[in-house]
Amino acid sequence: MTLDNKRVLVTGGTGSLGQRIVRRLLDGSLGRPARVTVLSRDEAKQHEMRLRFLHRRAATDDVIYEQAREALAFRIGDVRDDDTLVEVLRGTDIVIHAAALKQVPACEYFPVEAVRTNVMGADALVRATMAASSRVETVVGISTDKACKPINVMGMTKAVMERILVEANLRQPDTRFACVRYGNVVASRGSVVPLFLEQIAHGGPVTITLKEMTRFLLTLDGAVDTVLAALEHAQRGEIYVPRVPAARMTDLAEVLIDGRDIPIAYTGIRPGEKIHEIMVSEEECHRTLERNGYYVICPMLPECEPQSTSSTVLSSEYSSADITLDHAGLRDLLAPYLAEPLPAELKA
């Protein structure tokens, strides 16, 4: 798939994932889009991102700098607002929908706000693509492992978002709707690695909720790769899931501490937090295929399922409880984040 002359909208594009997606869209590897528009409601983050993309002059950023001058645009707006979405989708070809309330405790304390953004925002996006002036070809929604067997508000709202985008294929047959689902992104804004590094820099303690806690660990580039794989290969209503390693949070903390005299404190589970991540449930594994190194969950709605699921590849749920990373593996995975300071777009 080429993005030559395509107009791409990235909702929530000022987040760590959104910014990395925009960099990839502008680096020329997928073609030269006519326009990449970032939609978000935070003017300060947009201003910082604009300066970062338009004024970097380092040699490694030449392509992105030149392309950003021509193609990068910003729009302040809210995915909750129907009129804004209809207007910004006018002339848009591809949408990457990353806008969300994603902090688990915040969603527990403000559940209605989570519903408004994660659920009603997705519905507003679908309805906007149905506007007479819309020519949207593809929408890829960003979901989370927490949508699988959800126990918290964030996961519940993301699970509904997935269903809205799957069902949208029936309402809007001229647009292809698909999703990606993944867990913890290493060093993304608000994630555990920046928190641990900050705690270590101040002498500790490093705080972990429970000793048993496990997580999938996906790099930011791996997350972007998953989005672009879905953009290129997903069929209508499918959910793309990356195949990634899993680790205990205690092992992660020990690797980051690296033998220094810094204590680990166990603080107890947070509101709405899971002990283990699950990215494909027992029920979903019977309609999960493998394609180009990804798990692909076929839609539940039979109208959206054009291919046979007789060649499914999972016999049980895909869970982070199945540990695959030891200390050595974690050191290799974390090496890029320990060798140099975090990029500015990942800092809180």
CATH assignment of the domain containing 74 = 3.40.50.720
Q: What is the pLDDT of residue 59?
A: 45
Quote the pLDDT of residue 40: 95
- What range defines the domain where residue 264 resides? 7-346
Query: Which residue in the list 6, 45, 102, 146 is annotated as catalytic?
Result: 146
Query: Given pLDDT bands bounded at 50, 70 and 90, which one contains residue 347?
Result: very low
pLDDT at residue 341 in the model: 52
Residue 44 lies in a domain: yes
Q: Which residues contact 53 (CB under 8 A, 6 or more apart)?
A: 22, 23, 26, 64, 65, 68, 72
Q: Model's pTM, two decimal places?
A: 0.89
In the predicted model, is pLDDT for residue 245 greater than 60?
yes
Whole-number pLDDT of residue 346: 44
Per-residue pLDDT, 60:
53
Nearest Cα residue to 215 out of 263, 249, 188, 186: 249
Residue 348's pLDDT is 41
207: number of Cβ within 10 Å: 16
pLDDT at 61: 57
| pLDDT reading at 153 higher than 70 | yes
308 pLDDT tier (thresholds 50, 70, 90)? low
Binned at pLDDT 50, 70 and 90, residue 62 comes out as: low
Instruction: Choose between 134 and 238: higher pLDDT.
Output: 238
d(CA 67, CA 63): 6
Contact 201, 294 (CB under 8 A): no
Higher model confidence: residue 4 or residue 189?
4
| pLDDT for the residue 281 | 96
Query: What whole-number percentage of the chain has pLDDT above 90?
Result: 70
Position 123 in a domain: yes
**Rounded mean pLDDT of 245-274?**
91
Instruction: Supply the pLDDT for residue 131.
Output: 85
pLDDT higher at 267 or 192: 267
Average pLDDT of span 250-276: 91
Give how many domains the chain has, as a whole number.
Answer: 1
Q: Is 347 a catalytic residue?
A: no
pLDDT at 288: 95
Cα–Cα distance measured from residue 265 to residue 252, given in angstroms and rounded to the nearest whole number? 14
Q: Is residue 2 part of a domain?
A: no
Reply yes or no on whether the pLDDT at 107 is more than 80: yes
How is residue 71 written in tokens?
A: 């193609």
In a domain, 1, yes or no: no
Q: Could you tell me the two tokens for 22?
A: 């925009």
Rounded percentage of the chain residues whose pLDDT exceeds 70? 89
